[in-house]
């Protein structure tokens, strides 16, 4: 496997090790994909936020994907992390203490206004890394008849990776567009894309996935 964008530095023989172990297979894409945009909220996308960084480029590419998804009639779901100060402490916050500042009703948990979110697009509010854990996301996807999941958002090494792992665990062929995910640092971003491709998702250029969505539109008109 060779990732063209952001490949981590591998030791000699690593590719052969993964190949020998049988990793790096691929999925057949379905006819009813859904897009999940993970945590492109201000607390992550605003560099002024303690938990944020500049994710402008990833948002721009994700908007291109969203437009293609809408044209194909595919559902688009957004997620955000938000904590109610009055609830018991979430164990995860002992490890990721900065997340405690993402409180219900604060600007930091609002979806970045640069994202092409429509009023009818659901926003899943979560307290853990995966968009599936403790939320209604799976039921929502089932209600839409989704058979494939495209995962975008932040961060690559955190909530995107956790969501992708739970997505494939739930039985969805899972796709991650390389340019539509972002992280606070390059090394975990690159390593996570490599690991996702080898074990949990098909990591593909966004243009390829836009073409895939476009083929669904062509199929509907034929």
Residue range 145-202, pLDDT digits in tens: 999 999 999 999 999 999 999 999 999 999 999 999 999 999 999 999 999 999 999 9
Q: What is the CA radius of gyration of the chain?
A: 17
pLDDT range class, residue 80, cuts 50, 70, 90: very high
Domain residue spans of the chain: 30-221
Please enumerate in sequence order all residues whose Cβ is within 8 A of that of 23, keeping only pairs 6 or more positions apart, or say none.
Answer: 1, 198, 199
pLDDT surpassing 50 at residue 23: yes
74 is catalytic: no
Tokens representing residue 188 in the block: 């975990």
pLDDT surpassing 60 at residue 1: no
The pLDDT of residue 88 is 73
- Rounded to whole angstroms, how far apart are CA atoms 36 and 118? 14
Q: How many CB atoms lie within 10 A of CB 31?
A: 12
The pLDDT of residue 11 is 63
pLDDT range class, residue 2, cuts 50, 70, 90: very low
Q: Which of 74, 152, 159, 180 is labelled catalytic?
A: 159
The pLDDT of residue 132 is 98
* Helix/strand/coil for 6: coil
Q: What is the CATH code of the structural domain delimited by 30-221?
A: 3.40.50.850
- Rounded to whole angstroms, how far apart are CA atoms 32 and 93? 36
Model confidence pLDDT, tens digit, residues 84-139: 887 777 888 888 888 888 899 999 999 999 999 999 999 999 999 999 999 999 99
Cα-based distances in Å from 221 to 71, 100, 162, 211, 216: 12, 48, 36, 15, 9
The pLDDT of residue 158 is 96
The pLDDT of residue 5 is 45
pLDDT range class, residue 4, cuts 50, 70, 90: very low
- Rounded to whole angstroms, how far apart are CA atoms 157 and 177? 14
Maximum distance among all alpha carbons in the chain? Answer: 54
């Amino acid at each position: 496997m060779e990732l063209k964008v952001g490949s981590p530095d591998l030791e000699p023989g690593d590719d052969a090790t993964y190949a020998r172990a049988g990793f790096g297979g691929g999925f057949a894409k379905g006819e009813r994909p859904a897009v999940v945009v993970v945590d492109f909220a201000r607390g992550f996308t605003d560099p002024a936020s303690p938990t944020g960084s500049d994710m402008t480029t990833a948002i721009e590419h994700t908007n291109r994907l969203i437009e293609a998804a809408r044209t194909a009639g595919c559902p688009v779901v957004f997620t955000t992390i938000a904590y109610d100060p009055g609830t018991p402490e979430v164990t995860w916050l002992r490890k990721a203490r900065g997340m405690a500042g993402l409180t219900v009703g604060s600007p930091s948990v609002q979806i970045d206004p640069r994202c092409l979110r429509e009023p009818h697009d659901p926003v899943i509010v979560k307290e853990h890394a995966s968009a599936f854990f403790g939320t209604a996301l799976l039921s929502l996807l089932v209600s839409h008849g989704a058979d494939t999941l495209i995962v975008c958002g932040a961060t690559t090494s955190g909530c995107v990776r956790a969501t992708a792992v739970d997505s494939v665990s739930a039985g969805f062929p899972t796709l991650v567009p390389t340019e539509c995910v972002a992280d606070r640092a390059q090394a975990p971003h690159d390593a996570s894309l490599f690991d996702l491709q080898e074990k949990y998702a098909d990591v593909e250029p966004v243009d390829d996935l836009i073409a895939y969505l476009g083929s669904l539109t062509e199929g509907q008109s034929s």
